[in-house]
Amino acid sequence: MAMEKIKILNLNIWNYNNFEERKPKIVKFIKKHNPDIITFQEIRDDVRFNKKGDNQAKQINRELGYKYYCFYSVSDKRKERPEKYQHECVEGSAILSKLPIIKVEKKKLKKHKDDIYSCGNLCVKIKAKKIIDIVVVHFSNSNYFSLLHLLETLKYVNDKKINPIIIGDFNMYESDVLNSLTEDKFVSSMKYKKYLSYPIKKWTLDYVLIPKKYRFKSFECSGNDLSDHKALVAEIEVK
Q: Where are the domains of the chain?
A: 4-238
Note the pLDDT of residue 85.
85
**200 three-class SS:** coil
From the DSSP assignment, how many helices (H) and strands (E) are in the chain? 6, 12
Q: Enumerate residue ranges in the chain where pLDDT < 70.
A: 1-2
Say what the pTM is.
Answer: 0.97
Contact in structure between 109 and 121 (CB atoms under 8 Å): yes
The pLDDT tens digits for 65-118 are 999 999 999 999 998 888 888 899 999 999 999 999 999 999 999 999 999 999
Q: Which fold has domain 4-238?
A: Deoxyribonuclease I; Chain A (3.60.10)
Buried b (16+ CB within 10 A) or exposed e, 151-187: ebbbebbeeeeebbbbbbbbbbbebeebbeebeeebb
Average pLDDT score over the chain: 96
Contact 173, 139 (CB under 8 A): no
Q: Report how far apart, in Å, the C-alpha atoms of 24 and of each of 27, 165, 190, 193, 226 are.
A: 5, 28, 28, 28, 9
The pLDDT of residue 2 is 66
d(CA 227, CA 43): 12
Q: Cα–Cα distance between 190 and 128 in angstroms, integer?
A: 26
